[in-house]
Structure 1
Amino acid sequence: MPVLFEETKIGRELRELMALAVPVVLSELGWMSMSIVDTIMVGRLSAEAIGAVGMGNAVYYAPALFGIGVLLGLDTLVSQAYGRGDFDECHRWLSQGVYLAIGFTPVLMLLLWAAPLAFPYLHVNPVVSGQSADYLRILNWGTLPLLLYAAFRRYLQGVKRVKPVSFALISANLINWGGNWALIYGHLGCPAMGVRGSALSTCLARVYMAAVLIVAAWKNEAERGHNLFAHWPGVSRRRVRALMKLGTPAAAQIVMEVGAFGAATVMASRLTPVALAAHQIALNCASFTYMVPLGTSAAAAVAVGHAVGAGNAPRARRAGWLALAVGVAFMACAAMVFIFAPHLVLDIYTNQEVVVGTGVRLLAMAAAFQVFDGIQTIATGALRGLGETRATMVANFCGYWLFGLPLGYFLCFSQGKGILGLWTGLTLALVLIAIVLLFQWSRQSGRLAQAA
């Protein structure tokens, strides 16, 4: 009987985790689909257009995700407050997240506006450089709605209102697809703007996403008899500092991870347009599968945070391990697809055989790191639910910037391995980071359970 009870308890907790994870995973897939749609829609223009969109996104997301990453502290603070049943506290944390989003926006926009000035010094292919700069500077105008969306998303996930997040991103993809069709190629009386039209379409979709989640948060507060905006808290320096203390290491971790792949894209831009296009397509594929453990990671952070807030340390530990099991299972399946059906994936993006040929080899390398990518991502979320964000920052810095990127650069340029050498460094970095973070989660969650 005790064994049956334990199995029933774990099964119930797994169902609860999946009820939270599935909508969040759909949200992450919807988020990633925007850049994939952009890449696919410009893919019929030229290899240079694919490279330009990839380059623009790589440069944009490293600094923009720092702003989003600071708001990840809301995962811990809102979910733990919700676990304690303190709903007003959830609302107060949301307000401080909004203030941070507004405060970071002008700084990020200025940085992103200036970024294309560095392209000549990075020896970016001149044909790619001009289109990428146009794409980036239009995309920059979507920064504020992107950060507002991020703040309201963390709040809604923390209070178990995840369906509006999925709806916002799935429907926003339809808007982005239609906008791309009209603005890239000049349909419906719109000018044919090429890659600039793709960026404008993404900006409009982000405005829509932010609006949907603001309305969802307002409705959530109204259901408990609380007007979201009538009782909006003012700026609290103490709360902002607490949010920054948790969020800044999380933001640094994200920037180091995304920035590492962005740096790899910059390095790839020094190669041929074909190598850059293959790199961007393979990276899109790996990033798409990454959205599943990323969504599961967010669910793990919330589930662990709820359990910690409720004072249930053993449940917090189980939630993290269950999330890891789910993520590893999915990434193992993704690796099989990359190995045995690469053409099925690559043909979606391009009909250029030379790009596909290089892409097949890159997808084989992506298959090698899928499971490790899932482990490090979900362990990061589970640790965030405990309130631990510094260990993930240090692991990503050492893994990518001290080991993986230097090794990849050496293999790519000094050893003449090209794009395959660059991806070798990234793969080995992911393996190292996954081992370190899995150990950190096991140790810290074990200590918490023993102290309970």
Structure 2
Amino acid sequence: MEGKMTSSVKKKITRFLKLLLPILVTQVTLFAMSFFDTVMSGNYGPKDLAGVAIGVSVWVPISTGLTGILIAVTTLVANYNGAQQKEKIAPLITQGLYLALTVGVAIIIIGSFLINPVLDHMNLEKHVRTVAYHFLRALSFGIIPLFLYSVLRYFIDGIGRTRTTMIITVLSVPINVVLNYFLIFGNAGFPRLGGVGAGVASAITYWIILGLATYIVLTKQPFTSYRVLRTFSPISFSAWKTILKIGLPIGLSIFFEVSVFAVVTLLLSEFDTITIAAHTIAMNFASMLYMVPLSISMALTIAVGYEVGAKNFHSAKQYSIIGILMALLVASVFGLIIYLFRYDVAGIYTNDHTVQMMAGGFLIFAIFFQLFDAIAAPIQGALRGYKDVNITLLMMILAYWVVALPIGYFLATNTDWGAKGYWIGLISGLCFSAVTLFIRLNLLQKKKEETAAVAS
């Protein structure tokens, strides 16, 4: 019996890796757009780097929060797949696209009124503010395609074909880098736009990945068998309600988590440009490493969602354990790499020695980010697979807005820690979320197994 159980776990690890690796490549590649925007803007000049950082800090919480709402599509598709209810998937995707389009248009309209007031409230140098404003305006042309692509991507991932989204994304990154090269530095006869060119390049790239995803869904198996994008039924607010019931808590959880990092960057605008640039470098690199636990989280949503749909709660629990242990192992390796090579990492982003030294100091704190994220992120993904999203939302609000931000603000403004105080606050919030989410997952899994035992 023990041998069979060991064999079962090994098979699950193999299956999970097959599901995870394409998601990881996709997430790292998607993040590479932001990475290259930051690196190439930094090589153009510290002020353009700071301007792009401010622009990204305004945009990322909004985009990740709203696309987070659409993650419900992955959960629902995985559940339908596990329950052998394939016919429900195409209508779900149609309504998801309608919802994404509506949200995208609303964000463009609202953003056009709010960009200036938000930037006016920051103590920014004139050039930094100009770059941030025009970066955001350029990026706005990519909002609708990004949201529409997210729905198609979550459909593709939800049926377990994560390798396809990997291919789409990998193809798009060289295009983004080339466009950055032309538009940031004014090469090959293009206008020299500095940091603003990064926003233009990203917007164009979003249209390209939407086109690729649409082509694949319409022409390639097994996607054509689901008949997605073949017919467009009228808007169904009841279907929107189904998506939002799961997606809204997910989106808000992501928003409250990501926005606190953005608020910290905005609060750092009170410090000098060197500090903003150094913080941006450290946070950008930490965010790139976060793609591993985030990818594990997304893979767990699919794996756990499928098993929950099929009422295999023991298998769902096994996948959760596999994901968390895998994330912790990788985080330990990343922590060692950061400690040994932190100044070399900073040197990738900038040639300014002062910025490099300060960024190296910030990167020490990123080690603790890796460890706590390795627990919190996979658990969030597993909970989404169970459709357990409301308690997670409450935990995120408490972790980041009741614990992290107040502690960080107090340390930054009332002690000698200065900007580093914000990093200590963020680490405190991550620790709180890791502990509370771990408790929640354990309680939920025990309840599910007990219910299944009674039913049998």
2:250/2:393 contact within 8 Å kept: yes
The aligned amino acid for 2:55 is: G
Counterpart for residue 74 of structure 2: 75
User: Which residue does 2:336 correspond to in 1?
Assistant: 336
180 and 446 in structure 1: CA distance in 2 versus 1, 3 angstrom threshold: same
Count of aligned pairs between the two proteins? 451
Per the alignment, residue 65 of structure 1 pairs with 64
CA contact (8 A) 2:91 2:233 kept: yes
**Map of 2:443 onto structure 1:** 443
The alpha-carbon distance between structure 1 residues 404 and 451, as it changes in their structure 2 partners (threshold 3 A), is: same
Which residue in 2 is equivalent to 1:52? Answer: 51
SS of equivalent to 1:269? helix
Residues in 2 aligned to 1:335 and 1:70: alpha-carbon distance in whole angstroms: 31
CA distance in 2: counterparts of 1:105 and 1:225, whole angstroms = 28
What are the within-5 Å matches in structure 2 for residues 43-442 of structure 1? 43-113=42-112, 114-220=114-220, 225=225, 227-442=227-442
Check conservation: 1:249, 1:389, Cα contact below 8 A.
yes
TM-score (norm 2): 0.96
- After superposition, the C-alpha distances for 1:347-396 in whole angstroms (9 at most, x for unaligned) are 11111111111111111011022110121111111000000111221111
| Post-superposition offset of 1:341 | 1.3
In structure 2, give the amino acid aligned to 1:15: T
Distance in 2 between residues matched to 1:140 and 1:319, nearest whole Å: 38
Equivalent pair of 2:218/2:228 in contact (CA under 8 Å): yes
CA offsets per residue over residues 137-173 of structure 1, 9 Å max, x none? 1111110011011111111111111112111222211
Question: Which stretch of the first structure deviates more once superposed, 215-224 or 441-450?
Answer: 215-224
TM-score (norm 1): 0.97
Whether the 8 Å contact between 1:96 and 1:240 is mirrored in structure 2 is yes
Give the CA deviation at 1:225.
Answer: 4.4
| Alignment partners' CA distance in 1, 2:36 and 2:115 | 24
Check conservation: 1:281, 1:359, Cα contact below 8 A.
yes
**Contact persistence 2:44–2:185 (CA under 8 A):** no
Q: Distance in 1 between matches of 2:110 and 2:287?
A: 24
Which blocks of at least 5 consecutive residues in structure 1 are unaligned?
Answer: none
Structure-1 separation of matches of 2:354 and 2:39: 17
Deviation digits for residues 99-131 of structure 1 (CA, Å, limit 9, x no counterpart) = 110110121112333223222223234432121
- Measured in 1, the distance between the counterparts of 2:65 and 2:35 equals 21
Residues 17-69 of structure 1, C-alpha deviations (whole Å, 9 max, x = no match): 11111100111101111111001111122211111111111101112222201
Taking the aligned partners of 1:446 and 1:213, their CA distance within structure 2 comes to: 39
Post-superposition offset of 1:217: 2.0
Contact 1:221/1:227 (<8 A) preserved: no
Contact 1:256/1:397, CA 8 A, preserved across alignment:
yes
Q: Compared with structure 1, are the counterparts of its residues 125 and 415 closer, same or farther at alpha carbon in structure 2 (3 Å cutoff)?
A: farther
Q: Percent identity?
A: 25
Q: Which moved more, 1:112-121 or 1:76-85?
A: 112-121
In structure 2, what is the Cα distance between the partners aligned to 1:95 and 1:224?
A: 14
CA–CA distance in structure 1, aligned partners of residues 157 and 187 of structure 2:
37
Partner of 1:42: 41
Relative distance call for 1:264 and 1:223 in structure 2 (3 A) is closer
> Do the aligned partners of residues 334 and 251 (structure 1) sit closer, same or farther apart at CA in structure 2, a change above 3 Å counting?
same
Pairwise CA distance, 1:222: 6.5
* Structure 1 contact 294–378 (Cα < 8 Å) conserved: yes
Distance 1:223 1:256, change over 3 A: closer
The CA deviation at 1:179 is 0.1
The answer on 1:11 being equivalent to 2:18 is: no
Matched position secondary structure for 1:122: coil
Amino acid at match of 2:50: G
Q: CA deviation at 1:91?
A: 1.6
